[in-house]
Amino acid sequence: MARWQPNASERLVVAALELFEERGYDDTTVVEIAERAGLTKSTFFRHFPDKREVLFGGGTMDGLVVDGITAAPAAAGPLEAVAHALDFIGREAFPLDRREFSARRSAVIAASPELREREALKGIRLTALIIDALERRGVPALTSRVAAELGALAWQIAFERWRDPANGDEFGELARRALREVQAASTLC
């Protein structure tokens, strides 16, 4: 692959995923990822700060969460604002053609303690962003935290369902369904 071709970031992600599947995360180097993508090590580091981050979108999801909550109708309650954000994220980050890739990515993450830790930290950061975005809408702190935690759980459930190739539903619909289920289950506690 020629170095001048576009989409270097995406090529690095695909190359990393392939190598992580073939060799495992720990046994793959940045140089090998760059070479597989037809790029250099310095190009890798222009796009990602380290090998872990190649599978985590470089903070793209952060902006989507905040934008989705900010764009929710002014009259939307906290959970409806979270649902609006999940719809927005679904349209922007989880098109149906990414399902197979996401399932493969999840398998690689599940096989590595370091990547599982990074995924957990990403979830904590996204929950904090939801809290902050809700508070900026005037939602009280405790209510923001509860809505964010329920939203994060619904997101996780929806993602697990969405990446299943047997499931043909869009992420947004799965997320709204999971949010309703989580909300209903919370009333039983």
pLDDT tens digit sequence for 24-50 = 999 999 999 999 999 999 999 999 999
Considering only the top CATH level, what class is 57-188? mainly alpha
Question: What tens digit of pLDDT does each residue of 86-142 get?
Answer: 999 999 888 888 899 999 999 999 999 999 999 999 999 999 999 999 999 999 999
- The pLDDT of residue 148 is 96
Are 137 and 69 in contact by the 8 Å Cβ rule? The answer is: yes
Q: Which of 25, 185, 31, 177 is nearest to 109 (CA)?
A: 25
Task: Give start-end residues of each CATH 1.10.10.60 domain in the chain.
Answer: 8-54
Could you tell me which CATH number the domain at 8-54 has?
1.10.10.60
Task: Give start-end residues of each CATH 1.10.357.10 domain in the chain.
Answer: 57-188
Question: pTM for this one?
Answer: 0.86
